[in-house]
Structure 1
Amino acid sequence: MCIHLHIGGHINPAVTFGLLVGGKVSLIRALFYMLAQVLGAICGAGLVKGFQKDLFNRYGGATNSIQGGYSHGTALGAEIVGTFILVYTVYSATDAQRSAHESYVPILAPLPIGFAVFVVHLATIPITGTGINPARSLGAAVVYNKDKPWDDQWIFWVGPFIGAAAAALYYEYVLSASALKALGSFRRSGSIIS
């Protein structure tokens, strides 16, 4: 008897979109995930405001915005690159081809994903406060509801979606195609590595 478990969680619309682009989730499932993610983010921000209203207001509701000295282009680029790194890491850490040969991969997948999020935060907090998750950016903006978070909200959706799509397309159609081509070439030549 074989039991297959699917372990994972969808908490970021950009990652879900990347998985949709790569054919890992259906359109209907992706839409329901994204709706749940946005509603969850709004509820989460509401709970934070309810329990810590003074801190919530003092820190601007933890909303994302372009920091002084940075342009819209720089902020958009930071969100694209940051989300690319995250989604690429999700793909590589959860790759079914790797997990078929290395049974420990699904168990350890959260480690590289968490490390990628950490590194992206180190690089992008000074630029945008680190979006890379449109639901979190929107949830904080909805609950805080002041002008500044809404001014550049589009950056925290467009950037992550572009970065996610680029990572999915790169992993699925460039890296995977190259790997399959190399494997086919290796098999045709009859090479044995010793």
Structure 2
Amino acid sequence: MAAKEVEKVVTADEETTDIVVHRVPYGDPPAVRALDTSELTTWSLYRALIGEFTASLVLLYVSIATVIGYRSQSSAPDDRCTGVGYLGVAWSFGATVSVLVYSTSGISGGHINPAVTFALFMAGKVTLVRSVLYVAAQCLGAVVGVGIVKGIMKHPYDDLGGGANAVAGGYSLGAALGAETLGTFVLAYAVFSATDPKRTARDAFVPLVAALPIGMAVFVVHLATIPITGTGINPARSLGAAVLYNQHKTWKQHCTCLYSTIVSSLQVGPMPCRCHFSHIRCHVGTFYVYE
């Protein structure tokens, strides 16, 4: 029950006015039932799967095409300054994720990444059925997206590694696992922070800008880890490139991304259950204080 109070404040015109303050105990939305199968009969689930498939396809097409284009340009001895560089590759991933999250958040939640889906499942925000189907749609979309790139850029794709993740020389698998785990943690942490329901209760604009910090998290993580692994932090992205490139080394190192996803999701997923904040939602003349 909200506690109603009246407080006096002084406005910019040095006039005293009364405002109504409602103190509302905030409660997190209840966790979903993990084994709820009722979603299988709803059209919204299948519409969400189409959204996840399409978003994953677009992400892999844009990002892998950028990677192949960068490598083909930078490998030419007389065109060393024409490539987009690490900055351009990181920006292509981050900006594309931001656009796709904004576009699909109202359809599927804008996961686009099995690591995000798994973390949300661990937090009790997504059912097991939806999680499994989302991951399948994301991986299938990634394979199709990389397949389109391979069909368009056949020779550069085969000659330049297919945009697949690989541990760079001078780094061990342990170092790569650590980098991927930390990068996936940063992404999942940004997702939970940007979609925190307490912040939405306070500021109505938060859902509108949530895609921006998520895309920026992808951008900065790519800047840090491209020199180490080419940056995975998305098992669907790593799987799609590995399937089409189909090299033993690529498959072996793809496991690094899977391990990092599991570890990071176990770290971030339970965090919303342990964190409590106080927020204020403001209307004209009325304040709702969520405690």
Normalising by structure 2, we get a TM-score of 0.57
5+ residue gaps, structure 2: 1-104, 279-291
Q: Percent identity?
A: 53
Pairs within 5 Å for 1:39-78: 39-78=140-179
Deviates more, 1:60-69 or 1:147-156: 147-156
Number of residue pairs aligned between Structure 1 and Structure 2: 172
* Larger RCO (CA under 8 A, 6+ residues apart): 1
- Report if aligned partners of 1:124, 1:130 keep a CA contact under 8 Å in 2: yes
Normalising by structure 1, we get a TM-score of 0.85
Matched residue, 1:146: 247
Matched residue, 2:272: 172
Letter of the aligned partner of 2:247 in structure 1?
K
Q: Distance in 2 between matches of 1:79 and 1:161?
A: 11
Q: Distance in 2 between matches of 1:80 and 1:97?
A: 27
Q: Distance in 1 between matches of 2:189 and 2:226?
A: 20
Deviation at 1:116, TM superposition (A): 0.5
Q: Distance in 1 between matches of 2:172 and 2:242?
A: 20
- Report if aligned partners of 1:85, 1:167 keep a CA contact under 8 Å in 2: no
Q: Deviations over 1:32-57 (max 9, x none)?
A: 00000111111111111011112211
Pairs within 5 Å for 1:68-147: 68-147=169-248
Q: Deviations over 1:111-146 (max 9, x none)?
A: 100110001001111111100000110111001111
Deviation at 1:100, TM superposition (A): 1.1
Deviation at 1:28, TM superposition (A): 0.4
- Report if aligned partners of 1:60, 1:144 keep a CA contact under 8 Å in 2: yes
Q: Deviations over 1:156-193 (max 9, x none)?
A: 11112211221122x313323xx37xxxxxxxxxxxxx
Which stretches of structure 1, 4 residues or longer, exceed 3 Å deviation after superposition?
A: none
Deviation at 1:20, TM superposition (A): 0.3
Q: Deviations over 1:33-88 (max 9, x none)?
A: 00001111111111110111122112211000111111111111111110000001
Higher percent of residues as strand: 2
- Report if aligned partners of 1:132, 1:160 keep a CA contact under 8 Å in 2: yes
Higher percent of residues as helix: 1
Q: Distance in 1 between matches of 2:199 and 2:260?
A: 29
Deviation at 1:10, TM superposition (A): 2.1
Over the aligned positions, Cα root-mean-square deviation in angstroms equals 1.3
2:262 maps to 1:158: no
5+ residue gaps, structure 1: 1-5, 181-194
Matched residue, 2:99: none
Deviation at 1:9, TM superposition (A): 1.5
Q: Distance in 1 between matches of 2:195 and 2:275?
A: 15
- Report if aligned partners of 1:79, 1:163 keep a CA contact under 8 Å in 2: no
Q: Distance in 2 between matches of 1:174 and 1:58?
A: 49
Q: Distance in 1 between matches of 2:113 and 2:153?
A: 24
Max radius of gyration: which structure?
A: 2
SS at match of 1:131: coil
- Report if aligned partners of 1:20, 1:30 keep a CA contact under 8 Å in 2: yes
SS at match of 2:254: coil
Q: Distance in 1 between matches of 2:272 and 2:202?
A: 19
